[in-house]
Amino acid sequence: MSPPPIPRPYRLRTLTQAPPRLGDHTLACVVHAAAITADEDPRRIHVPLPVLSGPAVELWETDSAVHCGHEGRIAYAQGAAILFAQLRVDGSAMRDPRRATAAAYAELTAFFARRRGWHWVRSWNYIGDIHRNAERGNGDEERYRQFVLGRHDVLSAEPGFEARLPAATAIGTGGDALLVYVLGARQPGLQIENPRQVSAFRYPRQYGPRSPSFSRARRLDWANGADLIVSGTASVVGHETAHPGDAERQLRETLENLRQLRRDAGADTWGAASTKLFVRDAAIWASVQPTVRSLLPATELCVLEGEICRADLALEIEVLLQR
């Protein structure tokens, strides 16, 4: 597929504080550690995770006019070539997490179906109390596994869906709501899997009744470069957690997974436009901080405290690479 004849249609900046007013060309203002308030600009995306280090705010801007609106429970902001859409499910609806997730994903799928030529390329899933009910029965009642089921119920309805899966992050938060926000583009991008890892959509039964529906990365090509949108990446080798209980070695394994992806995505000439490190707790951040600083010296890093979807994973890293 030839690259679309347009240059990269956005700029991404990080800030320590959210601007009080968003300009006409702002597509999204992602605020971590935010108190959630009602009656907001649809472009403000509030992620309820404590920030342990680095800038809390991501500002996505574009040169074209931005159209904002609401459709059902979705709040969105659409530029000429990329868009953001967010949907929040409150805690009471999350009493049945499979149903609530399926309903949310069905709304998002319908949102894209109404937009000819647009593709869902990336999702962020913030799941309240992600390990609730993990101790019941065989573990399949766990909120995360039920979320995975509900997502699969919807995304698997399309034939060939495993070749068109969005990149994704899924992280636990306080509270019991679900926040899903997504990036859409006027191109599907290229799906990239990681040969060091079993594709998540092929994980075996032991991790839940359905496999997680996400790709390891998607590459978008622009007239003046490319983006590599990398999913939350952890210390998973094959399908198993490598180095349970050892955050330092999990960090090194995670960086190996990321190195493999960037090599396979064309060349090793990528630079990081955004790097987020999710850690299960502040003690893990303290323990890996020296290694992070020595292995990623020049990287502007946002460190967030949240549960990783497997309880034996201490950390996870997501990146947006550009070249």
Can you tell me the distance from the alpha carbon of 76 to that of 86, in angstroms, rounded to the nearest whole number? 6
Task: Give least dist CB 166 to ligand 3EB, A.
Answer: 9
By CB under 6 A, what part of segment 274-313 binds ligand 3EB? 309
Task: Give least dist CB 295 to ligand 3EB, A.
Answer: 20
234 binds ligand 3EB (CB under 6 A): yes
Query: Which region holds residue 41: left if phi is over 0, alpha if psi is between -120 and 50, else beta?
Result: beta
Task: Give least dist CB 242 to ligand 3EB, A.
Answer: 11
If the CB atoms of residues 43 and 122 are measured against ligand 3EB, the closer one turns out to be 122
If the CB atoms of residues 179 and 200 are measured against ligand 3EB, the closer one turns out to be 200
Can you tell me the distance from the alpha carbon of 219 to that of 317, in angstroms, rounded to the nearest whole number? 17
If the CB atoms of residues 26 and 215 are measured against ligand 3EB, the closer one turns out to be 215
By CB under 6 A, what part of segment 128-157 binds ligand 3EB? 148
By CB under 6 A, what part of segment 59-98 binds ligand 3EB? none
Single out the residue of 231, 254, 274, 322 in contact with ligand 3EB (rule: CB under 6 A). 231
Task: Give least dist CB 167 to ligand 3EB, A.
Answer: 8
Task: Give least dist CB 202 to ligand 3EB, A.
Answer: 11
105 binds ligand 3EB (CB under 6 A): no
Options 58, 107, 305, 316, the catalytic residue:
316
Active site residue 316: yes
Selected range binding ligand 3EB among 35-43, 82-90, 168-176, 265-273, rule: CB under 6 A: 168-176
Task: Give least dist CB 232 to ligand 3EB, A.
Answer: 3
- Report how far Cα 181 is from the mean position of its chain's Cα atoms: 8
26 binds ligand 3EB (CB under 6 A): no
With vertex at residue 298, the alpha carbon angle to CA 294 and CA 302, rounded to the nearest 5 degrees, is 90
Selected range binding ligand 3EB among 6-14, 69-77, 166-174, 176-184, rule: CB under 6 A: 166-174
Cβ atoms 199, 216 nearer than 8 A: yes
Single out the residue of 101, 169, 173, 199 in contact with ligand 3EB (rule: CB under 6 A). 169
By CB under 6 A, what part of segment 170-229 binds ligand 3EB? 170, 200, 212, 214
Token look-up 């998002």 returns 108
Size of the site for ligand 3EB (CB under 6 A): 13
If the CB atoms of residues 66 and 279 are measured against ligand 3EB, the closer one turns out to be 279
Task: Give least dist CB 277 to ligand 3EB, A.
Answer: 13
3-state secondary structure labels for all residues of the chain: CCCCCCCCCCEEEEECCCCCCCCCCEEEEEEECCCCCCCCCCCEEEECCCEEECCCEEEEECCCCCEEEEECCEEEEECCCEEEEEEEECCCHHHCHHHHHHHHHHHHHHHHHCCCCCEEEEEEEEEECCCCCCCCCCCCCCHHHHHHHHHHHHHCCCCCHHHCCCEEEEEEECCCCEEEEEEEECCCCEEECCCCECCHHHCCHHHCCCCCCCECEEEEEECCEEEEEEEEECCEEECEECCCCCHHHHHHHHHHHHHHHHHHCCCCCCEEEEEEEEECCHHHHHHHHHHHHHHCCCCCEEEEECEECCCCCCEEEEEEEEC
| Footprint of ligand 3EB (CB under 6 A) | 125, 148, 168-170, 200, 212, 214, 231-232, 234, 236, 309
Catalytic machinery residues: 316
